[in-house]
Amino acid sequence: MSQRHNKMLLKTVGIVALMTAFTFAMVPLYNVFCEITGINGKVLVSKELYETVEVDPSRTVTVELVTTISRGMPWQFKTMTRRMEVHPGELNEVMFYAKNISSETITGQAVPSVAPSQASFYVSKTECFCFDQQTLTAGQEIDMPMKFYIDPDLPDSVHTVTMSYVLFNATSKDSGAVAAN
């Protein structure tokens, strides 16, 4: 009986170890998958490529910017520009605003997405607050730039591109900062 229990215990521990490893590998695997397929609007980041892009002044694309705060995130978060007309190939800059309205230091991470999903292949950001986590002390506010361009090869059937940002609480439990719920 004891040997059977030991086998069962080893199998259980092995399954738990595999599940734990898979949990830690999920985020990097998901990011690679999204980058390859363009699903979930992950966009390519390229400063060097922009230098070779030509502006198409004969065409305009409507860009909509949307912000959302995840539940329990005690920040204000908004775009200063909700909608704009851009020429493919032209470098554009928009500003976003964030304020920590809690009494604690909190780290936030904005997760971007692009719709329609096929447009994600043609949106390039050269600078974005979403590349890094933002840590704000209690009451601190910040203006955050985002620079982007739409590739002139964007299909003619796409007239509107929506860039969304969801702000999540990324405060590390080990940092000593406590997030308000």
Q: List the CATH code of the domain at 41-169.
A: 2.60.370.10
**Distance, CA of 152 to CA of 135 (rounded, Å):** 35
- And the tokens for 115? 């719709």
Q: What is the DSSP-derived secondary structure letter of residue 88?
A: T
pTM above 0.75, yes or no: no
**Cα 96 from Cα 159, distance rounded (Å):** 23
Answer yes or no: are the C-beta atoms of 110 and 146 closer than 8 Å. no
Half-sphere exposure of 52 toward its Cβ, with a 13 Å CA cutoff? 3
How far is the C-alpha of 3 from the C-alpha of 22, rounded, in Å? Answer: 29
- DSSP summary character for residue 2: H
pLDDT < 70: residue spans in the chain? 1, 21-52, 173-181
- pLDDT number for residue 176: 39
The 10s digit of each residue's pLDDT in 163-174 is 999 999 998 764
